[in-house]
Amino acid sequence: MEILMSIVSGILFTVAVYLMLSRSILRIIIGTGILSHGVHLLLLTMGGLKAGTVPLLGENAPAYTDPLPQALILTAIVISFGVTSFFLVLAYRAYQELGTDDMDKLRGHENDE
Amino acid sequence: MSWLHLVIISPFLLAFLIPLLYKSLKQIHTGWFVLPLPLVLFIYFTKYISGVANGNSYLYSLKWIPSLGINFDAYIDGLGLLFALLITGIGTLVVLYSIYYLSKTKESLHTFYVYLLMFMGAMLGVVLSDNLIVLYSFWELTSLSSFLLIGYWYQREKSRYGAQKSMLITVFGGLALLAGIVLLSIPSGTFSIREIVANLDVVTSSSLFIPAMILVLLGAFTKSAQFPFHIWLPDAMEAPTPVSAYLHSATMVKAGIYLVARLSPVFADHAVWFTLVSTVGIITLFWGSFSAVRQTDLKGILAFSTISQLGMIMSLLGVGSAALHYEFLDDNIYVVAITAAVFHLINHATFKGSLFMVVGIVDHETGTRDIRKLGGLMTLMPVTFTIAVIGGFAMAGLPPFNGFLSKEMFFTGMVNVTKMDIYNMETWGILFPVVAWIASIFTFVYSMILVFKTFTGKYQPEKLEKKPHEAPVGMLISPVILASLVVIFGLFPNILESSIIEPTMASVAPSLLDTGEQFHVHITFWHGFTPELFMTIGVIAVGILLFLTLHKWTKIYHLFPESITLNNAYNNGLAGMEKGSNGIMKFMMTGFIRDYLLVIFAFISTAILITLFTQGGFKVDTSNMADIGIYEAILAVIMVLGAITTVFAKSRLTAIISLGVVGYTLALFFVLFRAPDLALTQLVIETVSVALFLLCFYHLPEFKPKKVRVKFHLPNLIIALLVGVTVTLVGIASSSTKLFDSISQYFIKNSYKEAGGENMVNVILVDFRGFDTLFEIAVLCIAALGIYSMIRLRLAKEENR
């Protein structure tokens, strides 16, 4: 199972990197979104996917899944959401001001300070 | 703090006062306030002569950075005293000369004298320091003050060029010197020259000895304008003439000579030292005198002449080092080379200083220094002419001036090289006297050009800017004093023998002396019909012949094309470096984010993959893994399909929706992998994110609905695949290697007991690891504030209104 999940997150990384290398800002943001999904999946996989009950003590099960990676992922989800939304609004404002979402046009000039 | 320390730093202290004096006492030439200091210092240093002549030396220590072994140790012995006397003595004369040379009204005198005093103090520090780091500090101060003085007329482009060139070359050498000093201090564990000499065995047996020697020599050669680093000196002639006379003939360019002489006790026993110092010196001697003949600018002639004479002193020091191999001989014929070096050092300072001042006077009174415009000034400027004859003939090596004596000794030293039975000198040694002889002929020729082309021949008043007349008395005092010294040292060389030359030799080659013994030098005009005498006669005869047929053979200078000169190599090298770094920057820094990302991703992946496989970190171990369930397999397929759709999506809307698919599938994965809190959060956040994406999408240009696919780009794909493969391999490798168990058993056991909660994930978030959550909240707050201010603040537009 871990191997399958590693491959899936590998594919997510490939897609994300490919999108991040494109010219449109929106695609770059989509790329970062997929990248964070890949990272979260990878974090969960690294923690081990062995069968166990949900980490709620009320279940009284003999084994629980590892709660620590889940806590880490939860933090990561929230932070990446914050960054993504900031980034989106930045792109929106950049488009409003500059009239383009093409990264190649946003490179500036040598003489600009 | 002793008097000697105060003496060394006194020029710096006075430099602080100069601008004040300049501003407050405008009617008096600032130079008069400077003049007493070098004079007093000169008198102070003469006090030491008798003690040093008796073989004493004086050491005054002052702690500076004791924990690093760096102390301001002022040390006076023969060599240091000789240089200190030169610096202060010629310094006095140069200041006096500059008072009449520089205009009170037109020049910014305060900066001039501040730089000059800074230089004087730095130079005194160089020659009187025993600690190598202190020596280096003063060494760089001389480079810096020389830079400032060359660029004194900073409005002129050539001054700036010359200043920059000398700065680059001497600082290059200075840094090499620093490296050499550090290498030298590693085996001996001290920066003190005396202690290094005392522990010489440790230093010479170290593998760092030869690198240290070469680096130190690099510093000495660049400072003393040795071939091929001599190119800065002719361009430094853009400085005011007093500066050229002081720095670029008498003192600073001799700092390299000083260093070679000072460190001779450390290095001179080694064959590399002999070879490098004597060969570089003799090449410089020849090249300098050969190039001087073609110059048409008087200061240009003197610059190349200085280069040539410095090469001569350097080669003498190199040949003199051979004396150490014959210390068993009663009559050590190689010692004469050291004597000649020391003697010529003094002589050169006197006649070159006076010649520079003569040239300054000519420049000052006629408005030009071009020998093609000058001529027939003899009757107009008789005193200047007399000084020029004395200086020029001394430089050419004619009797009865001091240059004759040192040139004879120089020939003796060079002839003795052929008698050497070490370093293959039986065969190659003959080159030394031959090259020296040819170089002396050229020296003779340019000295004659300097004297006769300027003062005799046709007077061409129409070419001169001013009507020439004799210089004011004040301007003549200094060159007259120097010229009389030339004659005095020429006629009575014995006044220098025991007082200056012998103790200096004792500091250059201490190992030649038994304890309590002293050198005994006797310099005479007449020493019989020796080869040296015939060489001098030959020099004069051939020299006169060449001078009279000058216009016939000077064409050979045009045989070399301009493009292969060293100056050209320097200029092209500098331009090439600028162009090269510019090219690299242009190539690397394209301004496209995609290019930078490509490099970053490629580097990270390659580095990880290489580490993974070279360190044996990759292995597959399925024993501890979970089985693949049917739901997970289906979800994996959906997720992969969703992800791939984002790439191939024709419209952005499709891409956004398939991103949503990936996010929701992830939430389902969280459900399957028993993470209810994650699933909840992921669902909510994915919804909000997709809404945000749609919002942005909605605001995208309607007039530019280019719903094109991402253009295919092979490098992007390769890098993307590389990153993907890296992540997969790292994922597999790390789930296969569990070095230790998880710490989660602690959380499972203590969640309720310690924290009173049954939801372990939430307990970790708010209790065990609450700080993470605190700052995660901060991140959200900052993001929210940032978004708010981004939308609200429209500074640019308001300004436009």
For B295, B346, B405, B629, the CA distances from B398, given in Å and listed in that order, are 22, 16, 8, 107
pLDDT confidence of residue B369: 84
Best mutation site among A6, A23, A93 for testing chain B: the one with the most B CBs within 10 Å?
A6
pLDDT confidence of residue A74: 93
Residue in chain B closest to A100 (alpha carbons) equals B701
pLDDT for B72-96, tens place per residue?
Answer: 888 898 889 999 999 999 999 999 9
Q: Which of B88-97, B357-366, B527-536 has the lowest mean pLDDT?
A: B527-536
The answer to whether residue B326 scores a pLDDT higher than 60 is yes
Could you tell me which residue, B709 or B281, shows the higher pLDDT?
B281
Helices and strands: H and E segment counts in chain A: 3, 0
Could you tell me which residue, B422 or B550, shows the higher pLDDT?
B550
Q: What angle do CA A51, B661, B659 make, to 5 degrees?
A: 120
Which among B598, B511, B484, B477 has a CA at the least distance from the CA of B98? B477
Provide long-range contacts, Cβ within 8 A and 24+ apart, for B14-19.
Answer: B14/B117, B15/B113, B15/B114, B15/B117, B15/B118, B15/B121, B18/B110, B18/B113, B18/B114, B18/B117, B19/B110, B19/B114
pLDDT confidence of residue B331: 65
Secondary structure of residue B267 in the 3-state scheme: helix
Question: What global pTM score does this model have?
Answer: 0.83
The answer to whether residue B800 scores a pLDDT higher than 60 is no
- Residue-by-residue DSSP string for B425-488: HHHHTTHHHHHHHHHHHHHHHHHHIIIIIHHSS---GGG-SS---PPPHHHHHHHHHHHHHHHH
CA distance B700 to chain A (A): 8
Residues with Cβ within 8 Å of B661's Cβ and at least 6 positions away in sequence, in order, are B638, B639, B642, B645
Best mutation site among A25, A36, A56 for testing chain B: the one with the most B CBs within 10 Å?
A56
Does B700 sit within 8 Å of A42, measured CB to CB? no
The answer to whether residue B437 scores a pLDDT higher than 70 is yes
User: How many contacts (CB atoms, under 8 Å) link A and B?
Assistant: 273
pLDDT confidence of residue B581: 93
The answer to whether residue B468 scores a pLDDT higher than 90 is no
For B386, B443, B448, the CA distances from B543, given in Å and listed in that order, are 21, 8, 9
Residues from chain B that touch A101, judged by Cβ atoms under 8 A, are 700-701
pLDDT confidence of residue B705: 47
Does A6 sit within 8 Å of B673, measured CB to CB? no
For B:661-680, CB contacts with A below 8 A are 662-663, 666, 669-670, 673-678
The list of chain A residues with pLDDT below 50 reads: 113
pLDDT for B474-509, tens place per residue?
Answer: 888 888 999 998 888 888 888 887 788 888 888 888
pLDDT for B559-573, tens place per residue?
Answer: 766 666 788 888 889
pLDDT confidence of residue B716: 86
Cα–Cα dist B248/B246, whole Å: 6
The answer to whether residue B462 scores a pLDDT higher than 90 is no
pLDDT for B140-186, tens place per residue?
Answer: 999 999 999 999 999 999 999 999 999 999 999 999 999 999 998 88
pLDDT for B643-658, tens place per residue?
Answer: 999 888 877 888 889 9
Q: Which of B511-520, B557-566, B772-781: highest mean pLDDT?
A: B772-781
pLDDT confidence of residue B526: 60
Which among B463, B442, B402 has a CA at the least distance from the CA of B294? B442
Does B751 sit within 8 Å of A3, measured CB to CB? no
pLDDT confidence of residue B160: 92
- Residue-by-residue DSSP string for B518-585: -------S---S-HHHHHHHHHHHHHHHHHHTHHHHGGGGGTS-GGGSHHHHHHHHHHHHHHHHHHHH
pLDDT confidence of residue B515: 63
Contact B203, B266 (CB under 8 A): yes
| Overall average pLDDT of the B426-432 stretch | 77
pLDDT confidence of residue B704: 45
| Overall average pLDDT of the B49-55 stretch | 85
Cα–Cα dist B252/B239, whole Å: 14
- Regarding an ipTM greater than 0.85, the answer is yes
pLDDT confidence of residue B797: 57
| Overall average pLDDT of the B510-539 stretch | 74
Does A85 sit within 8 Å of B675, measured CB to CB? no
pLDDT confidence of residue B706: 54
Could you tell me which residue, B625 or B679, shows the higher pLDDT?
B679
Which among B41, B34, B39, B29 has a CA at the least distance from the CA of B17? B34
The answer to whether residue B329 scores a pLDDT higher than 70 is no
Cα–Cα dist B744/B748, whole Å: 6
| Residue of B598, B700, B758 lying closest to A58 (CB–CB) | B758
Q: B225's torsion region: left (phi>0), alpha (psi -120 to 50) or beta?
A: left
CA distance A89 to chain B (A): 6
Question: Tokens 């909660």 — which residue?
Answer: B757
| Residue of A74, A89, A103 lying closest to B765 (CB–CB) | A74
Contact A18, B598 (CB under 8 A): no
Contact B110, B23 (CB under 8 A): yes
Contact B319, B432 (CB under 8 A): yes
For B:710-749, CB contacts with A below 8 A are 710-711, 713, 716-717, 719-721, 723-725, 727-728, 731-732, 734-735, 742-744, 747-748
pLDDT confidence of residue B711: 62
Secondary structure of residue B101 in the 3-state scheme: helix
The two tokens of residue A73 are: 């992922």
- Residue-by-residue DSSP string for B695-709: HHHHHS-SS----PP
